[in-house]
């Protein structure tokens, strides 16, 4: 039996060893640099070799692992959730902003700026248990449709990035999300979407407190900001939840600058990457002047810092994980 299976097993092993770990990445200098870095830190005897515990890779989410236009997907969730809540109980619509949100009047909401968005986020994210919020987001992520692409939001994760995450884990890395979005929000779909478990998602947080409800201990979400995991907050969030300096950081906006800087100024080998949204045909093209995912300092300093600019149009053969026919 063993003898009979042997040639097949050998074929499998050979096939795995030679398979392209990043099939949706074009054969460019970017892909070569990523693979060379991974080979360096994982090959025993290499000058850059690091044990698995040190192979910590951190990723921004919005605009890095999935799309973020025309505005953060968490805002779409918040609007949908306010609408659903208002259908069950119209008395929650206590302000003009909330009324506009429930009516789908996006113009009025956006005109209200950060304060209006904050109002909608709190109305949809607070005054409930973490478990109830998680269930609501998971259901939304599995069903809601992006108004421009017609894809489910959950299918607008980037196929090349899910391949990179899997490749890194196969090579003994731990992969972490470090997002300006809410940690509870991203945890609700990160395992399905990226293979990343809740404990490896670090994000912004609203306050919460422990309550016993019907005899069951629960985390109750409160309508105040507790932590903003953006810019200098990202290294702080990394320190709070990981407690070690990463060796690979991947972002797309100036909100990720400090995370990449923290990662690449430590001792030993490191790799910093910035996804440059250059593909107006298949996705959106934006950088310096964008109201979402503004990229200016990263664009100016990446070369001198040795960070890799990933050119979405040139480096990726495919964009979205879902529905490749539509997306390609």
Chain residues that interact with a copy of itself, rule: CB under 8 A: 53, 130, 183-184, 187, 197-199, 201, 205, 208-210, 212, 215-217, 219, 232-236, 239-244, 258, 261-263, 265-266
> What whole-number distance in Å separates Cα of residue 246 and Cα of residue 59?
10
Tell me whether residue 198 or residue 324 sits nearer to a copy of itself (CB atom): 198
CB of 109 closer than 8 Å to CB of 79:
yes
Distance of closest approach, residue 244 Cβ to a copy of itself, in angstroms: 6
Cα 83–181–90 angle (5° rounding)? 15
> What whole-number distance in Å separates Cα of residue 19 and Cα of residue 65?
23
CB of 82 closer than 8 Å to CB of 124:
yes
Tell me whether residue 250 or residue 284 sits nearer to a copy of itself (CB atom): 250
Closest listed residue to residue 273, CA positions, set 289, 255, 252: 252
Q: What torsion, rounded to 10 degrees, do the Cα atoms 60, 61, 67, 71 define?
A: -100
> What whole-number distance in Å separates Cα of residue 119 and Cα of residue 222?
13
Tell me whether residue 147 or residue 217 sits nearer to a copy of itself (CB atom): 217
Tell me whether residue 93 or residue 188 sits nearer to a copy of itself (CB atom): 188
Distance of closest approach, residue 53 Cβ to a copy of itself, in angstroms: 6
A 10 A CB-CB count for 306 gives: 10
> What whole-number distance in Å separates Cα of residue 258 and Cα of residue 43?
29
Tell me whether residue 144 or residue 205 sits nearer to a copy of itself (CB atom): 205
Distance of closest approach, residue 229 Cβ to a copy of itself, in angstroms: 11
Distance of closest approach, residue 313 Cβ to a copy of itself, in angstroms: 31
> What whole-number distance in Å separates Cα of residue 241 and Cα of residue 235?
10
Return all residues near 214 (Cβ < 8 A) that are at least 6 apart.
none
Distance of closest approach, residue 232 Cβ to a copy of itself, in angstroms: 4
CB of 122 closer than 8 Å to CB of 62:
no
Distance of closest approach, residue 65 Cβ to a copy of itself, in angstroms: 17
Distance of closest approach, residue 102 Cβ to a copy of itself, in angstroms: 29
Tell me whether residue 236 or residue 285 sits nearer to a copy of itself (CB atom): 236
> What whole-number distance in Å separates Cα of residue 160 and Cα of residue 66?
10
Distance of closest approach, residue 295 Cβ to a copy of itself, in angstroms: 19
Tell me whether residue 155 or residue 261 sits nearer to a copy of itself (CB atom): 261
Tell me whether residue 71 or residue 220 sits nearer to a copy of itself (CB atom): 220
> What whole-number distance in Å separates Cα of residue 146 and Cα of residue 151?
6
- Give the HSE-up count for residue 187: Cα atoms under 13 Å, Cβ half-sphere: 18
Three-class HEC string of 134-151? HHHHHHHHHHCECCCCCC
Tell me whether residue 258 or residue 287 sits nearer to a copy of itself (CB atom): 258
Distance of closest approach, residue 165 Cβ to a copy of itself, in angstroms: 17
At 248, give phi and psi (nearest 5°): -140, 130
């Amino acid at each position: 039996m063993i003898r009979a299976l042997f040639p097949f097993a050998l074929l499998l092993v050979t096939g795995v060893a030679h398979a392209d770990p990043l099939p949706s990445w074009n054969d460019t200098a970017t892909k070569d640099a990523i693979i060379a870095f991974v080979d360096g830190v994982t090959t025993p005897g290499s000058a850059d070799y690091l044990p698995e515990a040190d192979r910590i890779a951190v990723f921004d989410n919005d605009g890095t692992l999935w799309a973020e236009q025309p505005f953060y997907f968490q805002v779409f969730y918040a609007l949908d959730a306010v609408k659903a809540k208002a259908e069950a109980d119209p008395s929650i619509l206590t302000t003009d902003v909330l009324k506009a949100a429930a009516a789908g009047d996006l113009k009025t909401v956006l005109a209200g700026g950060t304060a209006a968005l904050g109002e909608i986020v709190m109305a949809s994210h607070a005054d409930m248990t973490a478990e109830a919020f998680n269930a609501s987001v998971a259901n939304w992520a599995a069903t809601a449709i992006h108004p421009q692409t017609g894809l489910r939001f959950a299918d607008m994760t980037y196929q090349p990035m899910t391949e990179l995450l899997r490749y890194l884990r196969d090579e003994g890395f731990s992969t972490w999300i470090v997002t300006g979005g809410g940690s509870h929000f991203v945890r609700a779909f990160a395992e399905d979407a990226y293979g990343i478990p809740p404990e490896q998602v670090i994000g912004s947080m609203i306050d919460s407190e422990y309550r016993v409800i019907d005899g069951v201990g629960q985390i109750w979400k409160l309508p105040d900001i507790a932590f903003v995991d953006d810019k200098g907050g990202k290294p702080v969030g990394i320190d709070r939840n990981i407690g070690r300096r990463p060796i690979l950081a991947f972002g797309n906006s100036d909100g990720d600058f400090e995370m990449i800087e923290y990662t690449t100024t430590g001792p030993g080998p490191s790799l910093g990457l910035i996804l440059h949204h250059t593909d107006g045909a298949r996705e959106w093209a934006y950088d310096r002047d964008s109201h979402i995912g503004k990229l200016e300092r990263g664009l100016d300093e990446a070369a001198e810092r040795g960070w890799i600019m990933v050119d979405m149009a040139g480096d990726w053969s495919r964009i979205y994980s879902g529905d490749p026919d539509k997306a390609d």
